[in-house]
Amino acid sequence: MTLQELDTYFRSFLKIENFSADPSLNGIQIENSDPCTKEIKKVAFAVDACQATFDRAVQLHADLLFVHHGIFWGQCETVTGTQYRRLKTLLDNDVALYACHIPLDANELVGNNYGLARRLGLQNIQAFGVWHGMTLGAAGEFEEPITIDKLERMLFPQGEKALHILPFGKKEIKTVAIISGGAGGDMDQAVAAGYDAYITGEIGHEEYHKALESKINLIAGGHYQTETVGVSLVMEKLAQDTGLETVFIHVPTGL
């Protein structure tokens, strides 16, 4: 497949055109030397567009790197310093870059939030949470209530640890709302909707007392850790649908 064909493929299920309010420049951010004819043989997937990820993509001989957090965010900027070095790495090695931000958070099939909801085994999963007019989260309920400790174990079955756990709500959790990444400020929406627990990636200092006074359980699972889900699901889908060689580049930040 060529880069242009892969762009058509990704857009067929990621519905990028429905998220015009996203500040990320979703889609092809850097093309290769001939996007209409050059065959893409290997696609790498990662959370972040950064030098470490780019270097690994080159080492792995990837033709395309698909990321959640791209290198361009809808504003003009100078190509100097780290931005210059990042771009030069991709251009010198003819590696294309594809980014998908909010569309990947929100997607019901391969998105971060629906993916986390399915990982938890939630039932009656539905859309939750609005940001800049875009619905991007997911919410649902357990068949039987669970404790917050068990909720963390189910959220990270490979043994990762959440950054913060604030057990300020019910001891037995039945309903959960999820918005991955940096959505601590959206906890208010979970409180207003009456959910027992809210899961996000990272929170600020002010969320502590908000959670305490609102009597809600809050898990900040880590911005990175809650957003490996979507890119991994897209990777699996691409491999199954096309047979292309794929690889995941793991560059955790601890944040």
Question: What confidence tens digit (pLDDT) does each residue in 104-143 have?
Answer: 999 999 999 999 999 999 999 999 999 999 999 999 999 9
Binding residues for a divalent metal cation: 68-69, 105, 223, 227
Mean pLDDT of 217-224: 98
End-to-end CA gap in the chain? 35
Over residues 167-185, mean pLDDT: 97
Query: What's the CA gap between 201 and 162, in Å, rounded?
Result: 9
> Which of 70-79, 90-99, 240-249 is predicted least confidently?
70-79
pLDDT at 199: 98
Residue 10's nearest CA partner among 202, 189, 230 is 230
Supply the pLDDT for residue 31: 96
pLDDT, average across residues 219-238: 98
Phi and psi torsions of 234, nearest 5°: -65, -40
From the annotation, which residues make up the binding site? 68-69, 105, 223, 227
Question: For residue 88, what pLDDT is reported?
Answer: 97
Query: Given a cut of 90, is residue 76 above it in pLDDT?
Result: no
Mean pLDDT of 5-17: 98
